[in-house]
Structure 1
Amino acid sequence: MWYDRKEEGYVDLAISARPNSSKNAFAGIYDDTLKICIKAPAVEGAANRELVKFLAKSFKIPKSEIRFLSGETGKRKRIRLPLNEKVEEFINGK
């Protein structure tokens, strides 16, 4: 499963980041991970910063609420975000 709901009002996402893409976009679910294309290159944390910015804007969450659980230096990441209405709609495919 590409997401894991936590009782504390959070959700953990398994993300496969694709840096150096033409635009920031959700690309779908592949191999139990959410594939996200990111414009920024994977240099000195630029792609991670762009990923956090994209998730914050997409789900209307403050950037400070988004946490890396693992994978900061790789393409496969686990990220924790607060579970709000936008995130719930995305998970449920609405």
Structure 2
Amino acid sequence: MILPYCVYVLQSEKDLLFYHGYTTNLKQRLKNHNAGKTKSTSKRRPLRLIFCEYYLSQQDAQRREKYFKTNQGKRMLKLMLRNTLRIIHYPK
């Protein structure tokens, strides 16, 4: 079974801030973000994908995206991705 909805987290290489979103075509969405076609991230390029989850239900994906935008969700993401963020910020 293919799960059509992807919740993703991007990190700006410019300001290190996160962007949260969901899509049914992650590859195209990443191209659009890095091409400056997304108003909210156009000035924060380049962006890198640091996390994604797939869902069968659009409502579940939207709920998860909304959670990641809360303070609790942001803290949880940083905890979940602590090794990834360490690698990004302090490469060997």
Taking structure 1 as the reference length, the TM-score comes to: 0.32
Quick check: which has more Rg, 1 or 2?
Answer: 2
Given the two structures, how large is their TM-score scaled by the length of structure 2?
0.32
Taking CA–CA contacts closer than 8 Å with sequence separation of 6 or more, which of the two structures ends up with the larger relative contact order? 2
| Greater helix proportion | 2
